[in-house]
Amino acid sequence: MKEIKMKVIDLFAGCGGLSLGFIQNGFEVTKAVEFDAEIAKTYSKNHPQTDMIVDDIGNIDNDRYFSEGEADIVIGGCPCQGFSTAGARIRKGFVEDPRNYLFKHFLNIVKTVKPKMFIMENVKGMMTMQNGEIFEEILTALSDKEIMDGEQYHVYYKILKGVDLGIPQKRERLFIVGIKDRDIDFESLLAATEQRIIKNNNKFFDKVSIKDAIANMPTVSVSGIVDSPDATTPYEKYLAASTPVITNHIKTKHSEKAVERMRQIGNGENFTSLNEKIKSVHSGAYGRLCWDEAAPTITTRFDTPAGGRFIHPNEDRTLTPREAARIQSFPDDFVFVGNKTSICKQIGNAVPPKMSFYWANFAQIALGQSVNYERTATEEVNETCGVG
């Protein structure tokens, strides 16, 4: 059998959550594209082996930066702001609409590289934008041979729920998967993916609570650097660092008024428990987490009491970046760099690495390859499902 390492290109890479799951599963992420230079620093610190292109994707979606066959898979979370909400009228016109430029650049790079597979990540709400018309146009464009320069991609989609993947967070993300020249039994491969992961880690899909995820975190420090805590739960062990210290465990400096408000709020309660009016557009403002539940979706405002339900279960403060990263399923030795605003943005916008790990396993089965050796898709599915 031929030893291989499948290659991946990550577009709209952010801090690297989508890349990380593939790297953990033996893939080589050869190139990544990120517009924000500060966020790109976090990506490069954690993935130094990857060629990071810091630029507007519109400047590099051509054969000067990418070439046919250089990667097996193209992945990326094209921001939903990159789609027109004016309604779909003409199919080819949708791709050319300047309001859909981010999607067009993703598509252009796929057309240039011609990977065996692409995985496009986005918010669940994309499916209902403009009564579903936008989503239908995206699926049509990605599977249209003429639009894709003669290449036929069979396109499938799946919504992943964080709580179903052993992530202590009610986050849901949409993934669109395209496979070149092969019409697969998508549902069977999803089932095989789950079995393959369970075979290697039978705790992977177990439900995880906030307590399971962050109860062992030590007292915060001014620098954010603390000793690596002893891991006791399976989830803590899954994310435990091999380093003696971990970073980014620093609390936000809240005003005295904000701290006093937090003192009055019990587990599962929010601003409605206060005897005052709070000006906030978020219904969960000043919400306190419960130890025995999953968190709501971690957003870029997890450091702000008014931003949602992000108050620590028993301390009068919001989550630290390290705690939020834990809830996002980032390992403890993943280091976030930049100012507070940038780090919150990086963590809140990231794809949970456990979701990415799931798709990396799917890709290995669908493309007929395991981590180290070339195999047929049939062999991989049969082995995973206990056949033969």
Q: What are the catalytic residues?
A: 80
Q: Give the type of residue at 131.
A: N
Give the CA count within 13 Å in the CB-facing half-sphere of 141: 25
How far apart CA 37 and CA 130 sit, in angstroms, is 33
Q: Phi/psi of residue 90, each to 5°?
A: -120, 130
Angle (deg, nearest 10), helices 101-113 and 133-143: 20
How many CB atoms neighbour CB 45 within 10 A?
Answer: 14
How far apart CA 162 and CA 204 sit, in angstroms, is 12
DSSP letter, residue 198: H
Q: Three-state secondary structure along 82-132?
A: HCCCCCCCCHHHHHHCHHHHHHHHHHHHHHHHCCCEEEEEEEHHHHHHHHH
Contacts of 34 (CB under 8 A, 6+ apart): 12, 13, 14, 40, 43, 52, 53, 54
How far apart CA 136 and CA 168 sit, in angstroms, is 31
Return the structure tokens found at 150. Answer: 């003669």
How far apart CA 130 and CA 324 sit, in angstroms, is 32
Give the CA count within 13 Å in the CB-facing half-sphere of 19: 29
What burial letters (b/e) apply to 19-38, b meaning 16+ CB within 10 Å?
bbbbbebebebebbbbbbeb
Is there a contact between 147 and 95 (Cβ–Cβ < 8 Å)? yes
Nearest to 386 by CA among 204, 191, 184, 182: 191
Is there a contact between 34 and 52 (Cβ–Cβ < 8 Å)? yes
